[in-house]
Structure 1
Amino acid sequence: MQWVLTLFVIAAAFATVRPLGLSGRGLAVAVLLVVNSLALAARHLPEAKVPPRASLIWLTLAIVAAAALISVSRSGSSYLFAYFLVGHAGFRLPVRQAVTLAALSSLLCGGVLYFHFGPGHHELAWALGLTTGAPVVMGIVNRSRQRAVWAVIDAAESSERAARAEAQAAVLTERGRIARDVHDVLAHSLAGINMQLELADALIEAGDLEKVREANQKAHSLVKQSLEQAQWTVHTLREDALPLVGSLTALIESSGHRDALTVTGTVRDVSSRVTQNLLRIAQESLTNTARHAPGSEVRVELTFDAASTTLKVRNSPATRAVRAAVGSGMGLIGMRERVALLGGTITAGPVTEGPDEGGWQVEAVIPE
């Protein structure tokens, strides 16, 4: 549409502006028509390719040329150049420079018609020349509108980039959560099963069949526990709601400790994320107890306060010989990561006083 308007103005000027020839005043009109046409066509150049200073010089000279064309021609639509050039100045230049050029156009064109420089347009009122500065308002409005559109587009692109970054972060967080679940389900269970099978091999060589059966039953128990833990993981990944107290009770009993759970405060429903992470912390603690403090007494406390949910797992010193075992080193790190994702705190360390002195305690506090 802009190109159509430009070509219309140029065609109308060449068709109507007179005199037009190859000598004398006709040649001057022809040269100024070409200059004005080129200046008007230049408004289609991208802003990025024309420096601001060059735009100011080009539009200033173009407005002077438009006023000169009105001066040397006797008739026609030469004044259209001034209107369109001033309007483009409002679009292309800063407001102060655009208004200055609009005032210059009004003074030059109005002065040409008022003082009748050259043959001029005697049938046109000099006030028409003053109105050539008016299109600057339209140009400024269009510029502001385009800037607003660009701002909206930039904001949309920024939002899209932020959404992509957030989605990528969510994917990485989910990968980390799944990695912790895989560690908890496989590493712990397989390590316990492997320990029992190694013990069974050693007992077979010693000929103690009763203890071999006991180790075999323990391995079967660990397999059953692993299946339950896998079910918990599937439920969590599917965001199924798990009852915290019931699931924690089942987990503790499957590890061989009965009546070890004490619940304090008013029991309430917590989110599936909190339930899943507290169960994993309890599982990690119980597995470490079985590995590093066999035969110890375990006490688990679950406390519901107004502002938080606290899980405390404490074990007494080992009562049986500790078999040398190499852990993955990810247990405590995984617990800290889980609690950090929920905005809570966790402490882990030896018990230094009380009946369980010499044992170990893990305490996780999850805020509401």
Structure 2
Amino acid sequence: MQWLLTLAVVVIGILTVRPMGFSGWGLAVAALLVVNSVALLARHLPEHKVADRPALLWLTLGVVAAAALIGASRSGSGYLFAFFLAGHIGYRLETKPALALAGICSLLCGGVLYFGLGPGHDVLSWTLGLATGIPVLIGIVNRSQRRAVVAAIVAAESAERAARAEARTAVLTERGRIARDVHDVLAHSLAGINMQLELADALIDTGDLEKVREANNKAHGLVRESLKQAQWTVHALREDSLPLLESLAAMLESSGHRDVLTVTGTVRGVPPQVTQNLLRIAQESLTNAARHAPGGDLAAELDFAGSSMTLTIRNRPATRAVTAGIGSGMGLIGMRERVALLGGTVTAGPVTEGPDQGGWNVKAVIPG
């Protein structure tokens, strides 16, 4: 639309401005018309390609040429160049220089008509010349609106980038949580199953079928235990909240430890995220106890203090032979990551004194 308007002004000027020729006064008018046309067409140059000072110089020369064309022509619509240039002055320049240059445009055009400089045309009043600077206000309004739109676009793009970064962080956090859950279910159980199957495979060559059956039965037992852990993992990955006390008691009982949970303090509601992470910490502790201290007694305590909640799981030394195996080393790391996400702390290590000496103790403290 702007291009069409610009071309329309140029065409109208060519058709109406007189005199026009290749010599004398007609040549001067033709030259001024060309200068005005170039100045008007230049307003379509991208802003980032024209600095402020060159733009001010070009628009100043355009204003002078527009006033000169009004005075030099005897008839026509040469004054349209002044109106359109004044409007672009308000759009291209800052407010103060734009108003100053628009005022100069009004004074030049009004003065040319008022003092009758050049041939002029009597049908135009000097007040029309003074009015040529008024479109600068429209240009200023358009510039303000454009800047507001640009600022809104920049703000929207910034908000979108922030949202993408936040979403990526959330995805990475969720991936880390799922990785810990997968480890808790698979790392210990699959390592134990693989070890028993390798043992059974090695015993086949010896012909000792009793030991082969024993290794096979242990592998089946580990599979059943893995299925139980998988069920707990599925529950933990769901969004709905599990009841902490009931779930913890059921987990202990399914691991072969009945009535070993002690609850102290005033029981209160627990956020779903805290419940899920405490259950996963308990599951990791029970898995480690079953693997490294088979047959040993186990005790669990859940303490609701005023500003924190503490889960403690302690197992005594093994009463049966411990089968050597290689763990992934990620269990304790997963516990620490879970507790760190909740702003708490976890300690895990051997018991060095008391009736449980030689056992293992895990203690997780969660604020809130």
TM normalised by structure 1 equals: 0.89
Quick one: structure 1 residues 231 and 295, their matched pair in 2 at CA, closer, same or farther if it must change by over 3 Å? closer
Does 2:151 match 1:156? no
AA aligned to 2:293 is A
The 1-side partners of 2:192 and 2:245 are apart by: 25
Question: For 1:67-106, what aligned pairs fall within 5 Å after superposition?
Answer: 67-106=67-106
Q: CA deviation at 1:144?
A: 0.8
1:9-59 deviation line (CA, Å, top 9, x unaligned): 112222222222222111111111111111111111211222322212211
AA aligned to 1:97 is P
SS across alignment from 2:74:
coil
**Partners of 2:39 and 2:58 within 8 A in 1:** yes
Does 2:76 match 1:66? no
Q: CA deviation at 1:291?
A: 3.0
Q: Provide the residue aligned with 1:229 in structure 2.
A: 229
The 2-side partners of 1:278 and 1:14 are apart by: 85
Q: Provide the residue aligned with 1:252 in structure 2.
A: 252
The 1-side partners of 2:90 and 2:353 are apart by: 82
Q: Provide the residue aligned with 1:176 in structure 2.
A: 176
Quick one: structure 1 residues 352 and 132, their matched pair in 2 at CA, closer, same or farther if it must change by over 3 Å? farther
Q: Provide the residue aligned with 2:272 in structure 1.
A: 272
Structure 2 unaligned blocks of 5 or more: none
Q: Provide the residue aligned with 2:134 in structure 1.
A: 134
AA aligned to 2:281 is I
SS across alignment from 1:365:
strand
AA aligned to 2:39 is A
The 2-side partners of 1:175 and 1:14 are apart by: 70
TM normalised by structure 2 equals: 0.89
The 2-side partners of 1:337 and 1:76 are apart by: 82
1:132-153 deviation line (CA, Å, top 9, x unaligned): 2221111111011011111111
1:66-86 deviation line (CA, Å, top 9, x unaligned): 111112112222111111111
Q: CA deviation at 1:162?
A: 2.4
Quick one: structure 1 residues 146 and 61, their matched pair in 2 at CA, closer, same or farther if it must change by over 3 Å? same
AA aligned to 2:84 is F
The 2-side partners of 1:310 and 1:213 are apart by: 42
**Which deviates more, 102-111 or 84-93?**
102-111
Quick one: structure 1 residues 324 and 263, their matched pair in 2 at CA, closer, same or farther if it must change by over 3 Å? same
The 2-side partners of 1:192 and 1:263 are apart by: 32
**Partners of 2:71 and 2:117 within 8 A in 1:** yes
Question: For 1:303-322, what aligned pairs fall within 5 Å after superposition?
Answer: 303-320=303-320, 322=322
**Partners of 1:261 and 1:302 within 8 A in 2:** yes
The total of aligned residue pairs comes to 367
AA aligned to 1:105 is C
AA aligned to 1:337 is E
**Partners of 2:72 and 2:119 within 8 A in 1:** yes
Q: CA deviation at 1:308?
A: 3.4
**Partners of 1:236 and 1:273 within 8 A in 2:** no
Q: CA deviation at 1:319?
A: 4.6
**Which deviates more, 349-358 or 109-118?**
349-358
Quick one: structure 1 residues 93 and 35, their matched pair in 2 at CA, closer, same or farther if it must change by over 3 Å? same
Q: CA deviation at 1:220?
A: 4.1
CA RMSD of aligned residues (A): 2.7
Question: For 1:260-339, what aligned pairs fall within 5 Å after superposition?
Answer: 260-320=260-320, 322-339=322-339
